[in-house]
Structure 1
Amino acid sequence: MRDLSNPLKVIDLLSDGECHSGEELAAIFGITRAAVNKYIKLIREWGVELTSVPRKGYQLTYPLDLLKFAKIEHFYTQHTDKPINLDVIPVIDSTNQYLLERLNTLSTGFACVAEYQQAGRGRRGRQWFSPFASNLYLSMYWRLEQGPAAAMGLSLAIGIVIAQVLREISGQDIKVKWPNDLYLNDKKLAGILVEIAGKTGDVAHIVIGMGINLRMHNPNQDIVNQAWSNLGDIDRNLLVAKLLYRLRDALYCFETEGLSAFIKQWQPLDNFADRPVKLIIGETEIKGIAKGINEQGALLLEQNGILKAYIGGEISLRADNTK
């Protein structure tokens, strides 16, 4: 595996917001100016925006709030005496894939968080735009003894918990969107990807991944092709800690009560509650009024006074702006 320690140290040095010359960086690492330029090029490829100031050096276009295990652990232990069980990995292919490749060695509740994903993914294998230190990329492993069938509606419960945490930490009106997104001001703020390994009748190994937009700048429009929002300038280390202990508490609750324990919390957070929407199923559009979810996690759609439930993996929910 390629050694990325020096480029990461360059980012750490630049995170103070000051200018650092190429000569200074070369001296610190005992390398040539040409090698420093290679590090700078790689860092820019990760999505870090740098300016080159003539006769002064390199400076971040905007400050970075870097993830630090010690800071996350400090916030986490203020709320629980349970061990944190977290890997902080600056550069990774995918936080979900990292856990999926280690299922047999993980304890329930183990998590990993990254600054940058080289191969982040969303639903249906779509690429997930993952610039360095601009957003939050977090995955958690959970062992569900009841098996895969007991995970029905899990992404909805997770969405509720994440929305509540983001509302508390930012003071903004974060909403949930069926089945696995969070919205702010009618724009996508975060996505959730739940992946399950295990056969019917066996233990379910569940990996819950999330990507949350915090301070994203100039995203690749070939990847981010819908309206999006940023949560804004918050303490990322505090956010990780709060998500970890709140999600763990919620997952213990889900184990015993399932989605039914979360149903009442969905409606006040539902971005499309009582609004005209359309479901896109392949080439078909189905229009109606969104009326929340049922205990199986299905979307309830009112059509001509009749309530019908829709559930499935290939359904997309959109606002119906034709009226």
Structure 2
Amino acid sequence: MFDLPEEMGLIAVAVQQTQGKGRGGNAWLSPVGCALSTLHISIPLHSNLGQRIPFIQHLVSLAVVQAVRSIPGYEDIELRVKWPNDIYYSDLMKIGGVLVNSTLIETTFHILIGFGFNVSNSSPTICINDLIAKFNREEGTELKPLSADCLIARTVTVLERLIEIFQEKGPNGILPQYYKYWVHSGKQVRLHSEEGPLAWIVGIDDYGYLQVHEEGQGVESVHPDGNSFDMLRNLIVPKH
């Protein structure tokens, strides 16, 4: 990938994986019916996104959701983003995820984006076509099922546009779209431990970290503690 011309894209698409990897080395189940791919992109270090590389996972999660919800008729399919890198059915069930690895060579970030989401496989959780079928039953519509190939292509196309907007306008060009689809509005989390202080989630900062408001403390950016399987458990306020 390091020898590719900068303007050339590279993507690997799998029908099934036998050794899929998730965050922290966890196994990623990859049955037939998932959209599974790894995308290579190049980002200049001295650019809006190059200075805020953690935002890439948010852009990809948003691209997956918009790939479905930008199709006429499919706007109300309950697909959402969960910070920092999950795709969810409403706020109930994980339907996909994103894993980003970056290598800086001179002044260029080489980014490998792995993303997988359930399209036509009802296990291990639920899939996009299940949500479409549910919507058809409830609303009396006749939306057609979608294919993994179609949604991978749409995701990459949407991602290219989101990157263009981010490079031109920075986080503020993207955040209104991100908040439209995220699951965290009005939600609370605990800081430091299971018995730690409660804080309200208010947004994400200019570098892609979660912002919370703890009473009497104002708004602070927080990081996962690195130990919990759920990234929103035991969030840590970093020392300045």
**TM-score for the superposition, normalised by structure 1:** 0.57
Matched, 1:128 2:28: yes
1:188 aligns with 2:94: yes
- SS in structure 1 at match of 2:30: coil
Equivalent residue, structure 1, for 2:44: 145
How far the C-alpha of 1:178 sits from its partner, in A, is 0.8
Identity of aligned residues (%): 23
SS at match of 1:274: coil
Match of 1:162 among 54, 64, 80: 64
Deviations 1:220-250 (A, max 9, x none): xxxxxxxx43111312232122112111222
Q: Rg bigger for which structure?
A: 1
Structure 1 residue runs without a partner (length 5+) = 1-101, 220-227
d(CA) in 2 for partners of 1:301, 1:255: 26
Structure 1 window deviating more from structure 2 (141-150 vs 241-250): it is: 141-150
* CA deviation map 1:161-213 (0-9, x unaligned): 222222234441221111111111321111011110115x6311001121101
Give CA-to-partner distance per residue, 1:12-63, whole Å, 9 cap, x none.
xxxxxxxxxxxxxxxxxxxxxxxxxxxxxxxxxxxxxxxxxxxxxxxxxxxx
- For the aligned residue pairs, the C-alpha RMSD in angstroms reads 2.8
2:141 aligned partner: none
Q: CA deviation at 1:153?
A: 1.6
Counterpart position of 2:142: none
Question: Does 2:145 match 1:248?
Answer: no
Q: What is the alpha-carbon distance in structure 2 between the residues aligned to residue 286 and residue 129 of structure 1?
A: 35
Q: Which amino acid aligns with 1:152?
A: P
Alignment CA distance shift 1:280-1:128 (3 Å): farther
Q: After the TM superposition, which segments of 4 or more aligned residues of structure 1 sit over 4 Å from their partners?
A: 283-286
Q: Is the 8 A contact 2:43 2:108 kept in 1?
A: yes
Which residue pairs with 1:178 in the alignment? 83
Matched with 1:300 is 211
Query: Which is bigger in relative contact order (C-alpha 8 A, separation at least 6)?
Result: 2
Match of 2:140 in 1: none
Which has the larger share of helix? 1
- CA positional deviation for 1:135: 0.8
Q: CA distance change for structure 1 residues 174 and 198 in 2, over 3 Å: closer, same or farther?
A: same
Partner in structure 2 of residue 234 of structure 1:
146
The alignment status of 1:111 with 2:11, answered yes or no, reads yes
Structure 2 gap segments, 5+ residues each: 130-144, 235-240
